[in-house]
Every structure is written in structure tokens, then in C-alpha cells.
Amino acid sequence: MNNTATEATIEADPKLPIIRITRDFAATPEQLVRAHTDPEIFARWVGPDGMDTRIIEWDARNGGAWRYVAGREGEEYGFRGCFHEVGPDRIVQTFTYEGMPEGVSLETLRFEDLGNGRTRLHAQSLVDSFEGRDAWLKSGMEVGVDEGYAKLDALLADGSI
Amino acid sequence: MADELSRVFAALADPTRRDMVARLATGDATVGQLAAPYAVSMQAVSKHLKVLEAAGLISRSRDAQRRPVHLEAEVLAQATEWLERYRREAEARFQRLDAVLAEMNQESMNEEKPS
């Protein structure tokens, strides 16, 4: 079954320090909200690959906090933030990588119901400056890209996609 | 400079400037040659070129007669590469999410089946 006909598209807003990503999924908005708010499900896909995600704190309600640690031998990366709003088709939350604690991104995830069990995710990340956005784009990106391709190959090979 | 990427993105946000960059990717051109396809004034073209130059995307030679415009392909490639790498990382995450969602669908289908 091919349920990923379209890959994620990305746009860097020229006027605001915003990155927008759009991606279609073979799932309902409700399922996607669950995949983002149920800690056990979230830990299974957030990655990056080759790392275990350990949920430390998770309160997926308006105003609730979250924190998780991604790690592999000798390395640990912590992330934390707050769920500002958890709605049926929208999640607003903050996101901080603990290695850059002064940087915080405001994440707005909107789940657009396309019908027939398909949903379009509109993810928007707003940071406080263009410098911050550039640093964000350049940082930590080495992690996971190659592993991502390997994982993709594996998923394609075993027919999951 | 810290915000050079943003200047490149801002410069490329305009369709006329994107067009000019595409044209320059095939080779250097004079301002007159660049202006030819557009129904805009030379001043407007000049303004676009200044934005592209400030972003480091183009350079102009000191040749006073022609001053051909040259595309700094490396600057363009680097900016688009950062964005593309970020996109690929998001896509890798979403591929994992696809697999998890497929399992969720499978589970709910199994639950609906009469036993």
C-alpha cells in the first residue's frame, strides 16, 4: 500500500522567522492528535533513528508540561516545552532543545481533514529572530538524516509504506 | 553573518528574482539582457539585483563597460541545502509516524472485526 504519495514540503517565510512544513497522512485528524499527545505512541516515531526516546514528563493538557530525552550510548539530548493548547484539530506548544536553552520555538500544528481517512498536517515553527531560525536550521541537523534514509529504505522494503 | 541565510530566503521569495537567478544559472548576463524579458523599468531590475547582491547571491565584475552579473552558485546551493536537510529530517520523522499510524489502523480494524 502506498500511503505516502507526497513528501513533506518546507517553506522559510521571508518576512517572519517562521518555518512551515506541510505533509499528508493516511490517518484521521483524531489519530494524528493521538500520535502527538499519547506519550507511548509519540516516543515510537519522534526519533531520530538509532536513539531511544525516554519520556520524562508528559501532561498533554492545556498548560501541561512535557520533557523527553533522546539517547544512545554516551549521548543524551533533552527537549522540553509546554502544551499551550490541545484541541481536536490543533496543537499549540513550545519547544526547547536543552542544548540551546535560550532558544524557544512556538509550534502550531494544524490537522486539516481531507476526507477518506486522509489528513494534511500544517506545522509552523516560529522563533524569536531570523538569527535564531538560521541557527536552528544549521544546528543538530547532522543527527538522523542518514539514519532516516536507512529507515525509509527498511520501511519500503518490508511493505510498510 | 548570522542572518545571511534569511537574506537569501528573502531574496528568493520574489518570483522575478527567482526567475533572474534561474536565468543566471545558465551563465553570466548583463543588466540589459536580464531586463529584456520583463515589462519593468531598468531601475526596477536594478533594485532586484541589489537585493540579490546584498544576499551574496550574485556579484558584478569590475568591467565598467558590461558589468556582467554572475550567480554565486555556492551561496545558493548552501542555503537551499540547509532547508532541504531540515525538510528531509522532518520527512524521516513523518515516515516513522506513517508506520505507527498504519499499525494504529491495523489495530482498530482488528477490534472492529467480530470475533
Each domain of chain A, given as residue ranges in start order, spans: 9-156
Cβ–Cβ below 8 Å for A152 and B10: no
pLDDT above 60: residue A158: no
Instruction: Please report which confidence band the pLDDT of residue B100 belongs to, taking 50, 70 and 90 as the band edges.
Output: very high
Q: What is the pLDDT of residue A90?
A: 97
- What are the backbone angles phi and psi of residue B64, rounded to the nearest 5°? -60, -30
For residues A46 and A3, the model is more confident at: A46
Query: How far is the alpha carbon of B104 from chain A, nearest alpha carbon, in Å?
Result: 8
Which residues of chain B does A48 touch, with a Cβ-Cβ cutoff of 8 Å?
A: 89, 92-93
B101 touches chain A (CB under 8 A): yes
Cβ–Cβ below 8 Å for B87 and A9: yes
- Between A33-37, A49-53, A136-140, B17-21, the lowest mean confidence (pLDDT) is in A136-140
Domains for chain B: give ranges and CATH numbers.
Answer: 4-112 (1.10.10.10)
pLDDT above 60: residue A70: yes
Which residues of chain A does B81 touch, with a Cβ-Cβ cutoff of 8 Å?
A: none
Q: What is the pLDDT of residue A148?
A: 40
Distances (CA, A) of A97 to A51, A79, A106, B54: 16, 5, 12, 32
Neighbours of A21 (CB within 10 A): 20
Report the relative pairing of strands A105-115 and A65-72 from DSSP bridges: unpaired
Q: What is the pLDDT of residue A25?
A: 93
pLDDT above 50: residue B73: yes
For residues B107 and A157, the model is more confident at: B107
Query: Nearest CA to A124 among A94, A82, A87, A85?
Result: A94
Q: ipTM score here?
A: 0.77
Distances (CA, A) of A87 to A33, A34, A48, A76, B58: 8, 11, 26, 31, 46
Q: What is the pLDDT of residue A2?
A: 45
Q: Mean pLDDT throughout A79-92?
A: 97
Q: What is the pLDDT of residue B112?
A: 73
Q: What is the DSSP letter of A141?
A: T
Answer yes or no: CATH 3.30.530.20 is held by domain A9-156.
Answer: yes
Please name the member of B84, B87, B95 whose beta carbon is closest to the beta carbon of A4.
Answer: B95
Q: Mean pLDDT throughout B70-77?
A: 88
Cβ–Cβ below 8 Å for B100 and A26: no
Query: Hey, is B63 helix, strand or coil?
Result: coil
Contact A85, A75 (CB under 8 A): no
What average pLDDT does chain B have?
Answer: 85
Please name the member of A15, A45, A144 whose beta carbon is closest to the beta carbon of B100.
Answer: A45
Chain B residue whose CA is closest to A14: B10
For residues B64 and A119, the model is more confident at: A119
DSSP-assigned states of every residue in A89-124:
SEEEEEEEETTSTT--EEEEEEEEEEETTEEEEEEE
What average pLDDT does chain A have?
Answer: 83
For the stretch A38-47, contacts whose Cβ atoms lie closer than 8 Å and that sit 24 or more positions apart, written own/partner, are: A41/B100, A41/B104, A43/A68, A44/B96, A44/B100, A45/B93, A45/B96, A45/B97, A45/B99, A45/B100, A46/A70, A46/B93, A46/B96, A47/A144, A47/A147, A47/A148, A47/B92, A47/B93, A47/B96
Cβ–Cβ below 8 Å for A131 and B2: yes
Which residues of chain B does A35 touch, with a Cβ-Cβ cutoff of 8 Å?
A: 97, 100-101, 104
B51 touches chain A (CB under 8 A): no
Chain B residue whose CA is closest to A1: B102
